[in-house]
């Protein structure tokens, strides 16, 4: 499979890459994510507690990883393009980690109301180690172009 640079979602085919998304989570973002999701788990905002549990720092929430994966898709294919999203956390990430989400289209299926793309996603830290992996199914190019 030959990898190419990112293309428009409507023309994407297997082997194409989506535009990479780089994010730098901060302690403030982790605090606000904990607050808005009413998640009191101290591993996300209490450094002493996180260290006591053996973590390298306060941890990015699993669902915040998922939000990064989803955003890499929606900024390319539309805010409501994501039909399915599965992900797995493979390595903890902290605010010290600059995270880059890349995606490769693995299949394209033409349907009556648009095109279904399956995208394999990887979120990597600055050392190139995977922190989260996932797969998204995106609907693009329908009557509403993924807008709804």
Partner 1 sequence: MSLLDTVADSLRQMVGSTQRTDHGVIDRRLIQRYAVAIDDRDPLFSDPEHARAAGFADVVAPPNMLAGVIEWGPGGWQDELKPDGTGDEGWLTEATRGMRVMGGGEEMELLHPLVAGMHLIETQTLADVEVKDGRAGRLLLVRSDVTFQAEGGPVLCRSRRTVLGREPVQEVPA
Strands (DSSP E) contained in the chain are 17-23, 82-89, 99-111, 114-124, 130-140
The answer to whether 11 contacts partner 1 (rule: CB under 8 A) is no
Check residue 145 and give left, alpha or beta (phi > 0: left; psi -120 to 50: alpha). Answer: left
One residue of 10, 11, 14, 35 binding partner 1 per CB under 8 A? 35
Where in 62-121 is the site for partner 1 (CB under 8 A)? 62-64, 66-68, 70-71, 73-75, 79-80, 82-89
- Six token digits for residue 142: 């329908």
Residue with Cβ nearer partner 1 (74 or 104)? 74
Q: How far is the CB of 22 from partner 1 (least distance, A)?
A: 12
| 3-class SS of residue 108 | strand
The answer to whether 58 contacts partner 1 (rule: CB under 8 A) is no
Cα distance between residue 48 and residue 55, in whole Å = 10
Look at residues 85, 84, 79, 70 and name the one whose alpha carbon lies nearest to residue 145: 79
The answer to whether 52 contacts partner 1 (rule: CB under 8 A) is yes
- For partner 1, the binding residues (CB under 8 A) are 23, 29, 32-33, 35-43, 46, 48-49, 52-54, 59, 61-64, 66-68, 70-71, 73-75, 79-80, 82-89, 144, 147-148
């Amino acid at each position: 499979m030959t990898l190419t640079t990112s293309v428009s979602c409507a023309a994407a085919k297997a082997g194409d890459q989506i535009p990479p998304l780089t994010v730098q989570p901060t302690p403030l973002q982790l605090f606000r994510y904990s607050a808005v999701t009413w998640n009191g788990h101290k591993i996300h905002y209490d450094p002493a507690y996180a260290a006591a549990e053996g973590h390298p720092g306060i941890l990015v929430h699993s669902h915040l990883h998922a939000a990064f994966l989803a955003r890499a898709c929606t900024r390319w294919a539309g805010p409501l393009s994501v039909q399915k999203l599965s992900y797995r956390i493979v390595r903890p990430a902290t605010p010290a980690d600059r995270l880059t989400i890349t995606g490769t289209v693995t299949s394209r299926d033409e349907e009556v109301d648009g095109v279904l793309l399956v995208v394999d996603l990887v979120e990597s830290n600055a050392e190139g180690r995977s922190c989260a992996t996932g797969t998204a199914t995106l609907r693009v190019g329908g009557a509403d172009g993924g807008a709804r």
